[in-house]
Amino acid sequence: MSVPDPPRDAAPPAPPERPKAWGGVFEQATDERVERFSESVSFDRRLADDDIDGSIAHAAMLAAQGLIGADEAARIRAALEEIRAEIRAGTFEFTIAKEDIHLHVESALTARLGDSGRRLHTARSRNDQVATDLRLWCRRSIDLVDAAAAALQRAFLGLAEREADLVIPGYTHLRRAQPVLAAHQLLAWCEKLDRDRQRLADCRRRVNVLPLGSGALAGTSLPIDREQVRAALGFEATAANSLDAASDRDFACELAFVIALMGVHLSQWAEEWIIWSTEEFGFLRLPENFCTGSSIMPQKINPDVLELVRGKSARAIGNLQALLVLLKGLPTAYNRDLQEDKEPLFDSVDTILAVLGVAAPLVAGTAFARERVAASIDRGHLDATSLMEALIAAGTPQRTAHETVGKLVRRAMRRGVALDDLSDEEFSADCAEWNASLRSALGASRAVGRMASFGSTAPARVADQIKAWQRRLSTDGGG
């Protein structure tokens, strides 16, 4: 169960009396304007679960090393679970005087346990603490995004299974090019999502490195056991350089990039389906419960969900750029600028999860307008390449076959007919190699059936791909 998000742009109110800045060196209370300017608890409170998980593992390690008592570690764990329950229930009090989630949890712990609570921060800094929290959050988020992407793959696969025999026009330059099976077109989106999921898995490896124990930047002189903490939190590796570990945000940029590219893929899909669902194309029937109407035009059924899918990719791209610009001027080790890493990353994850959450049911509820497709499939001379390849197979050089078929297409265009409507005499006028057996290459369905290469739109190849995707998405969720 995750911690509920705060209302957007809602910073907790400051108390009437503000304490001195953290640390005994300060003599003056922090200016209220600084509190409001520098607080992050309004958004980093969503790291509460991760902060508490990290603190529990840290306390257990401190006890194992004799830095705190075993009974203290047990009390710390129990109190932290109480704090977690209060945060989840919405009864925990937040204030900008305690600027971030880490200070909130520690202050609440100290209020309950006194010195035992104060000992929890032994051998750690907020620098390595927040780096650990963010990695734990990213790891969970990657798993959520991956599962949602797999659900969308299953939706595309389901539609491909239902439309397995349908031949549709394939396009390049938004001009009719060659006929393909609708299933082939749909499985192309499974491939793009699969690459996105591979990138998520690869990113997860670099996310899954423990920075805790690096301290502020130099490590600690205290006898800690980072391997124990690594194992307790399920990290695959331990960061080897304390100076780098506390300030590394490469993993955040990488996750933002993976999400941005996934957003681009989904935007491309949305654009294609917006076009295909227009009256001019009419290839798709979108589910009405995923469309909206017009405030003034009663007849309108607008593809607003697809348009928002297309539009929200811009946010993911912008968030990636924000993170890269944030990092580009920072020197080695932690700088407070890094507080600004969370909101773009949080927004990217929230956005892609929202997009995937509507995309899968939209795809599942969509159907092809088979009559409309069938009525238009032989327009545009989609079988021209098929005829050219038939001539090549009979011995005609490719360039010669290309020119010959181009002339035949021009002849058919003048008459306003399909290639298959030309007479043998008309074919022979432009094609010395013409014979009646070449007609087997004409027509969209026959052209699709003649495909043979691996990865092509050949019915047998597409059937194999459907079976392969069924296996992959049933055994391991895809990927």
Give the DSSP H or E segment for 471: helix 459-475
Which letter does DSSP use for residue 20 in this model?
Answer: B
List, as one string, the DSSP characters of 291-322. -B--SS-TT--B-HHHHHHHHHHHHHHHHHHH
| Residues annotated as part of the active site | 173, 294
Angle at 228 between CA 226 and CA 232, to 5 degrees: 115
Q: Which residues contact 307 (CB under 8 A, 6 or more apart)?
A: 270, 274
- Beta-bridged to residue 238, according to DSSP, are 210
Backbone phi and psi for residue 216, each to the nearest 5 degrees, phi listed first: -70, -40
Q: Which of 109, 179, 116 is nearest to 456 (CA)?
A: 179
Helix, strand or coil for residue 248? coil
Strand spans (E) along 366-447: 367-368
57 neighbors 115 (Cβ within 8 angstroms): no
Cα 283 to Cα 58: distance, rounded to the nearest angstrom = 58
Beta strands at 237-238 and 209-210: parallel, antiparallel or unpaired: parallel
Burial class (CB in 10 A: 0-12, 13-18, 19+), 37: exposed
